[in-house]
Amino acid sequence: MKHFIRLLVFAISFTLSAQESLPTTEIKTLDGTTTSLQEISKQNDLIVVSLWATWCVPCKNELDAINELYTDWQDETNVKVYAISIDDSRTVSRVKPLVNGKAWDFDILLDTNNDLKRELGAATVPLTLIIKNGKIVYRHSGYTPGSEDSLFEEIKKHS
């Protein structure tokens, strides 16, 4: 118990200075090309990243909700959304048909052995990030109905 309290105090003291720089961890596109969060953010000033999985109901709810608004978001802010699947080899073959079946318009990336998930310290999915000029400026875990609106408010702040 003592250890636990020490750990807690320790971690909380660090949250005062949250991580800003981007992981260079390798992730793959659907056609097998290797890239990383850092590289993606070099190509775009403002991106939204959502860590999701085919078996995660709230993740799919979030991405369905964003997909409906995506065209409007892009018209207004030039934001680009990347949906990074953490499906491992149990379910990764469902990613491509699911994305097409749902007619999502995002760029899809794969983190099959969860290296990026570990590096971002995401204990649960969905995890949503806003990345502006290579820095994480907003972070939220979990999805609740309607939180896509507050996400867009945040996006507008940074656009």
Partner 1 sequence: MKKITVLIVLILPMLSFSQETDTKDNTIFKQFLDNLSGSLETNGQWYTNDAVLGDFEDPLPEFDLRNEHIRVNSYLRLDYSFLENFTVGLQAESYEPLPLINYYPEYNDTRIATYYANFRNKKLDITAGYFYEQFGSGLLLRAFEERQLGLNTALRGGRIKYTPTDFLDITALYGQQRVAFDVSESDIFGFDTNFDFTKAFEIKGLNRLSLGLSYVGKKEDFTPPVNEFDPENEFDITDFPEMINSYSARVDVDFGNFYINTEYALKGEDVTFIPPALPGDGILEGKYFDGNALIFTAGFSKRGLGISNTFRRMENMTFTAERNAKDISSTEFQFNMQNLNYLPTLTKQQDYSLANIYIYNTQPGLFLQNFGGQAGEIGNSLDVFYNFKKGSKLGGKYGTKFTMNFAYWALLDAEFNQTESTYNAEFLKFGNRLNRDINFEIRKKLNKNWSSIFTYINTIVDKGVALGGNLGTDGDIKSQIVIADVTHKLGSGKSVRLEGQHLWTKEDKKNWAGATLEFVASSKLAFYVTDIYNYGNEIKEDQNHYYNVGGSFTKGATRVALNYGRQRGGLLCVGGVCRFVPENTGLTLNINTSF
Q: Which residues bind partner 1 (CB under 8 A)?
A: 1-4, 6-21, 24, 26, 31-34, 54-57, 61, 64, 68, 88-91, 93-94, 96-103, 112-115, 118-124, 139-142, 144-147, 149-150
d(CA 145, CA 65): 8
Give the nearer residue to partner 1 in terms of CB position, either 72 or 97: 97
Q: Min. distance of Cβ 46 from partner 1 in angstroms?
A: 19
CA of 39: how far to CAs of 60, 65, 136, 151, in Å? Answer: 25, 27, 14, 23
Q: Are residues 43 and 125 in contact, defined by beta-carbon separation less than 8 angstroms? A: no
Q: Vertex 123, ends 9 and 14: CA angle to 5°?
A: 25
Question: Which of 65, 31, 28 shows the shortest CA–CA distance to 48?
Answer: 65
Look at strands 46-52 and 135-141 and give their pairing: unpaired
Q: Min. distance of Cβ 77 from partner 1 in angstroms?
A: 19
Q: Min. distance of Cβ 141 from partner 1 in angstroms?
A: 5
Give the nearer residue to partner 1 in terms of CB position, either 11 or 156: 11
Give the nearer residue to partner 1 in terms of CB position, either 45 or 118: 118
Q: Min. distance of Cβ 24 from partner 1 in angstroms?
A: 6
Give the nearer residue to partner 1 in terms of CB position, either 82 or 126: 126
